[in-house]
Amino acid sequence: MAAQKKDCLSDFPFHLKMSNSHHRRTIAASLVNGVYILEEDRQARRDGPNALASPWWKFFNFKLVRTLTDDVDNSIFGAIYEFKPQFSMCNDAFSPDYVIAFRGTLLKAKSFVRDIKLDFEIIKNRFHLTSRCEIALEAVRSIVDYVGASNIWLTGHSLGSSIAMHAGKTMANSGIFINSFLFNPPFVPCPIEKTVGKYVSNVVKAGVYILSMMGDRERVFSYDSLSEWTPYLFVNPSDYICSGYIGSFGATFIEKLACSFSLDRLHLIPSAYLTVNVTSSKELREVHGINQWLKPNLQLETNLHQY
């Protein structure tokens, strides 16, 4: 673990610059990794000096304020960190006061079953109804009330990205926009596309959307509000779990109408900074893993997609 951490971050300067996109990405990914290790520490009963999680946030001068625990299996799925820079040069206009991070599916005995069940809830478009989402959203609202949305980051990986996505969309729908860094967020194709084809699906959904505009102005207002939220998405083209985002933003007018109608689906968003990792890689564990985003010499392509 220590060697891995050293390899990932050995090129970092003594003074961090939050205005640097590489630094922001690596910090967000490291804090998510800290949540993974917190849960591994819990399951292995490592505490005190034997715990392995703290270097993942202490390296960047963050302090663990609170862990978020699932009410079903008592696993740690999230953490709230406070930024405590030791030097003023580490703090700038891009710095958060707090970061709320969420881990993804953990293949460990005491968390695997619950995590997999939640993964299936994403596929069924019912994830937003789960207690884990409710706990996370309550925590986000509490921190927003405390310090304001402009001083917060949301971040997550895989399943954790879905949690952060739900929280970010919910807050944005109320006019509250939180900086969000979402790694390998699951992209679930609409079931109708499998049966009637993508083009026909878009025509059908667009038609229903137009009808809904005639009788439901609130839906249009909600969509306009959500379009102002622009999270940072980090995906890998070789990762089938998240690669659907790469083509989802190159939409025609009719496809955008269809997207508008489908915004109730968790993974769909109208705007984003999309970063694609085009670095050569093959293994699923690598292309879907959080550790890829900690590496310094990545080949990345970033584009802003604004609705």
Residue 282 has pLDDT above 50, yes or no: yes
CATH number of domain containing 134: 3.40.50
Higher pLDDT, 300 or 267: 300
pLDDT, average across residues 209-213:
44
Residues of the domain holding 242: 2-305
pLDDT at 251: 52
Query: Rounded to whole angstroms, how far apart are CA atoms 280 and 136?
Result: 35
Read off the pLDDT band of 209 (50, 70, 90): very low
| HSE of 218, CA atoms in CB hemisphere, 13 A | 2
**Which amino acid is present at 70?**
D
Residue 186 has pLDDT above 80, yes or no: yes
pLDDT tens per residue, range 159-184: 999 999 999 999 999 999 999 999 99
Higher pLDDT, 118 or 253: 118
Read off the pLDDT band of 267 (50, 70, 90): confident
pTM value? 0.85
pLDDT tens per residue, range 87-97: 654 556 789 99
Average pLDDT across the chain, whole number = 83
pLDDT, average across residues 236-259:
74
| HSE of 261, CA atoms in CB hemisphere, 13 A | 19
Number of independent structural domains in the chain: 1
pLDDT tens per residue, range 127-171: 999 999 999 999 999 999 999 999 999 999 999 999 999 999 999
pLDDT at 15: 59
Query: Rounded to whole angstroms, how far apart are CA atoms 193 and 199?
Result: 8
